[in-house]
Amino acid sequence: MSSASASVVWIRTEPSLAVVLNLNPFFLLEDDPTPARNNQMNRAASLVVSALSFVRAVRKEELPPDTVRGTPLCMYQYSRLFGTARVPTENGCQIVQDPDARHMVVLCRGQFYWFDVLDDNSDLIMTEKDLALNLRVIVEDAEQTPIPEAAKGALGVLSTENRKVWAGLREVLTRDEGSNNADCLGIVDSSLFILCLDYTEPQTTAQLCTNMLCGTNEVVKGVQIGTCTNRWYDKLQIIVCKNGSAGINFEHTGVDGHTVLRMASDVYTDTILRFAKSINGEAPSLWASTSPDPAKRDPSSFGDVSTTPHKLEWDMHAELSTALRFAETRLADLIQQNEFQVLEFGNYGKNFMTSMGFSPDAYVQMAFQAAYYGLYGRLECTYEPAMTKTFMHGRTEAVKSVTVESLEFVKTFWGENPPHQKVEAAKKATQKHTAITKDCAKAQGHDRHLYALFSVWQRALDEDGAEAASSNGFSSNGCSSPIEADSAERAPTSNGETLVSLDASSAASNSPHSRQQATHQMPALFADSGWEKINHTIISTSNCGNPSLRHFGFGPTSGDGFGIGYIIKDDSISICASSKHRQTKRFVDALESYLLEMKKLLRLTKKKATSTQTSRAREAEARPDGSRRKGMGRGKAVKGSEEPVEDKEESDDDGMGGCEFLLLLSLQKQMLEFSLTDLGFK
């Protein structure tokens, strides 16, 4: 286990916000195409081997750069993916990383185990069979403790608490001298990632998605025995069910969905290629270089490592037990307050949309707006991220999907209008959406720029009060002292303007001069009701996925909103929708109805002649009869039903949309960290 010092980055956060269901998204992977791996031990071992190969490629900087239409993207986020943890403190959260981490942590029935998996050179020291053996030993050991008993010590539940409470509980865990808890926390925080081995077998897709996002909630005789106790939400987690179904849940502050998607895709691809190599030794490898075969290495070459699983023994006491019970009750409430529905739309996908001249992403975005308008007769603030990784350390820009054109479209669609008019309105709306997305990908959107300005002003309200305002409120290293986003309390003045004053706890630590100037007038831009309106997202969406994923999703970002993750595949669309019981099933059904209706409208108005489904092979039949072999023309041709010819027109999508979901629920929930350099100040 590595003992290297960790790097630290401060972030602002809403202290009453828990990461589970509010921030962490999930990926549901497709099943492994090799049947032998579709059980828990083999699937988990295979995924870990591929994940470790990815870690090695990142550390050796051998990962081929991400590109969009030939333009390379910033790869910085990959360095923040492993060995990283989000650690709460009294003054906000830290992103802490051990860049030399060599061990992984396994969670099974709420119990923690660890062992080393890499050497000092980041080469693998265990084969897939070795890993499967370790995992089998861990499961057998964990099963010795009955689930109800294990649940009483499942400290992973504490990571679901709001950040301020969780910060206090970490202090409780580490304050007693001679306690194991500080070391246990260090092992978990510095691990490469967490592997969660669940004992359940979710049967439906919706159940699988729920399990990957927040775990299951099952209380028996007053004791929580669901998989929600088998998580640690402050880190990257690989989750494997008993039947081999697998997914990823990730802490989202330091990395975007596009980064984790690349990891998931490469991991899935590597599992297939390794199986191919077991059949044909000449099969290609995904990696520029690979680790020496651990089975052929001298064990002494591994260095100072521990490959035997070790169980973490937490020192439980009454205060911790009580805190854990309350945290679990709150988590169960949170899970019950949310509902999830999936739509696996198989009627058409990207190919059909592009053949009709539409950008697939814009097409689906209009579907969300049309379905919502059909149910409620209005449009609401809708969010989609656009990736800005063409810039160094780029993250995302917010695409606001509601436009004059989209409003005109939904009104036209639901009105008594001819098909061609509806299609024409749809084209105008999607073209506008595509144009906005391209601008945002070029960092020419408004959202992040305005938030940067807001952050500059907000940091003037640092603990140094007015003195901080006069000096920009930054320390010499370009970072301000972290301050909780809710430490500012808004109060209306007699003239209707809004002031923001530091709360008593912050003001008490200020100098007398600072206390006299503890209030500062909020800039008119941010006091305007429109600022609050555009930061209260009702429909939060993200397009993220490829054939390695079955589903992708996240929780609703507001109490009255929907969280919608979607994947547009060649001939299908996968949608996972969540809300706090806002008739999610009805909304998903409305989406499906809209998608079917649009296909009818497009068929009616498409000018191309219809033709039977065809392929390159069938096109060969167009040659003169004389060129065919004798007797090959006999029999009745079976051509299938008529479908529009789907030419593979190039999509308007530039690949920059999606792969992220809304971190910024409101001003208090914005997590983006800016330094002076990031904001253009020296």
Judge whether residue 199 has pLDDT over 60.
yes
Does 352 lie in the same domain as 370? yes
Residue 540 located in a structural domain: no
Does 246 lie in the same domain as 99? yes
Q: How confident is the model at residue 619 (pLDDT cuts 50, 70, 90)?
A: low
Beta-ladder partners of 465? none
Last residue of a domain, which of 533, 561, 588?
533
Q: How confident is the model at residue 91 (pLDDT cuts 50, 70, 90)?
A: confident
| pLDDT tens track for 168-195 | 999 999 888 888 999 999 999 999 999 9
Tally the domains of the chain. 3
H helix or E strand, kind and range, residue 115: strand 111-116
Judge whether residue 485 has pLDDT over 60.
no
Q: Which domain holds residue 239?
A: 7-286
Judge whether residue 14 has pLDDT over 60.
yes
What are the start-end ranges of the E strands in 531-665?
Answer: 539-543, 549-553, 562-568, 573-579, 610-612, 642-644
* Average pLDDT rounded to a whole number, residues 264-278: 95
Query: Do residues 230 and 139 touch, judged by C-beta distance below 8 A?
Result: no
CA distances from 660 to 5, 27, 70, 367, 612 (A): 30, 12, 21, 19, 39
Does the active-site annotation cover 520?
no
Last residue of a domain, which of 533, 559, 580?
533
Instruction: Report the pLDDT value the prediction gives residue 462, as an integer from 0 to 100.
Output: 66
Query: Do residues 588 and 341 touch, judged by C-beta distance below 8 A?
Result: yes
Sheet arrangement for strand 396-400: 339-345, 573-579, 562-568, 539-543, 382-387, 396-400
Does 407 lie in the same domain as 502? no
Is the four-CA dihedral 577, 582, 588, 590 of positive or negative sign? negative
Does 384 lie in the same domain as 277? no
Instruction: Report the pLDDT value the prediction gives residue 520, as an integer from 0 to 100.
Output: 62
Q: Which two tokens stand for residue 507?
A: 């003001």
Residue 538 located in a structural domain: no
DSSP assigned state of 571:
S
3-class state of residue 223 by DSSP: strand
Does 121 lie in the same domain as 12? yes
Phi, psi angles (nearest 5°) of residue 575: -130, 130
| pLDDT tens track for 532-553 | 999 999 999 999 988 999 999 9
| pLDDT tens track for 301-331 | 999 999 999 999 999 999 999 999 999 999 9
Instruction: Report the pLDDT value the prediction gives residue 636, as an integer from 0 to 100.
Output: 77
* Average pLDDT rounded to a whole number, residues 573-595: 98
Does 439 lie in the same domain as 523? no
Is the four-CA dihedral 563, 667, 10, 75 of positive or negative sign? positive
Q: How confident is the model at residue 612 (pLDDT cuts 50, 70, 90)?
A: very low
- The pTM assigned to this predicted structure is 0.85
Candidates 216, 283, 205, 287; CA nearest to 30 is 205
* Average pLDDT rounded to a whole number, residues 157-172: 96
Instruction: Report the pLDDT value the prediction gives residue 275, as an integer from 0 to 100.
Output: 92
Cβ-count burial 593-621 (b if 16+ within 10 Å, e if not): ebbeebbebbeeeeeeeeeeeeeeeeeee
Cβ-count burial 135-151 (b if 16+ within 10 Å, e if not): beebbeebeebebeebb
Instruction: Report the pLDDT value the prediction gives residue 148, as an integer from 0 to 100.
Output: 85
Residue 145 located in a structural domain: yes
Residue 624 located in a structural domain: no
Residue 502 located in a structural domain: yes
| pLDDT tens track for 345-400 | 999 999 999 999 999 999 999 999 999 999 999 999 999 999 999 999 999 999 99
Q: How confident is the model at residue 622 (pLDDT cuts 50, 70, 90)?
A: low
Does 459 lie in the same domain as 398? no
Question: β-strands 103-108, 219-220: how paired?
Answer: unpaired
Instruction: Report the pLDDT value the prediction gives residue 460, as an integer from 0 to 100.
Output: 82
Please identify which of the residues 103, 252, 433, 520 carries the catalytic annotation.
Answer: 252
Residue 232 located in a structural domain: yes
Percent above pLDDT 70 for the chain:
79
Q: For position 352, which CATH number holds? A: 3.30.559.10
Which of 24-38, 249-263, 662-676 comes out lowest in average pLDDT?
662-676
Residue 319 located in a structural domain: no
Judge whether residue 505 has pLDDT over 60.
no
Does 208 lie in the same domain as 248? yes
Does 492 lie in the same domain as 438? no
* Average pLDDT rounded to a whole number, residues 424-452: 96
Between CA 587 and CA 594 the distance in angstroms is 11
Residue 333 located in a structural domain: no
- Let me know if 476 is exposed, middle or buried by CB neighbors in 10 A (0-12, 13-18, 19+): exposed
Does 391 lie in the same domain as 453? no
Q: How confident is the model at residue 658 (pLDDT cuts 50, 70, 90)?
A: low
Does 236 lie in the same domain as 203? yes
Arithmetic mean of pLDDT over the chain: 85
Between these two residues, 624 and 124, which has the higher pLDDT value?
Answer: 124
Instruction: Report the pLDDT value the prediction gives residue 467, as an integer from 0 to 100.
Output: 54
Longest Cα–Cα distance of the chain, Å, equals 103
| pLDDT tens track for 357-371 | 999 999 999 999 999
Judge whether residue 476 has pLDDT over 50.
no
Instruction: Report the pLDDT value the prediction gives residue 16, as an integer from 0 to 100.
Output: 67
Instruction: Report the pLDDT value the prediction gives residue 607, as an integer from 0 to 100.
Output: 60
Last residue of a domain, which of 503, 533, 563?
533
- Let me know if 304 is exposed, middle or buried by CB neighbors in 10 A (0-12, 13-18, 19+): exposed
Between CA 95 and CA 81 the distance in angstroms is 11
Q: For position 23, which CATH number holds? A: 3.30.559.70
Does 204 lie in the same domain as 86? yes
Question: β-strands 237-240, 194-197: how paired?
Answer: parallel
Assign 3-class secondary structure to 302-350.
Answer: HCCCCCCCEECCCCCCHHHHHHHHHHHHHHHHHHHCCEEEEEEECCCCH
- Let me know if 382 is exposed, middle or buried by CB neighbors in 10 A (0-12, 13-18, 19+): buried
Candidates 494, 490, 513; CA nearest to 503 is 490
* Dihedral angle over CA of 77, 80, 81, 82, nearest 10: 150
Between CA 573 and CA 586 the distance in angstroms is 18
CB atoms inside a 10 Å sphere around CB 557: 24
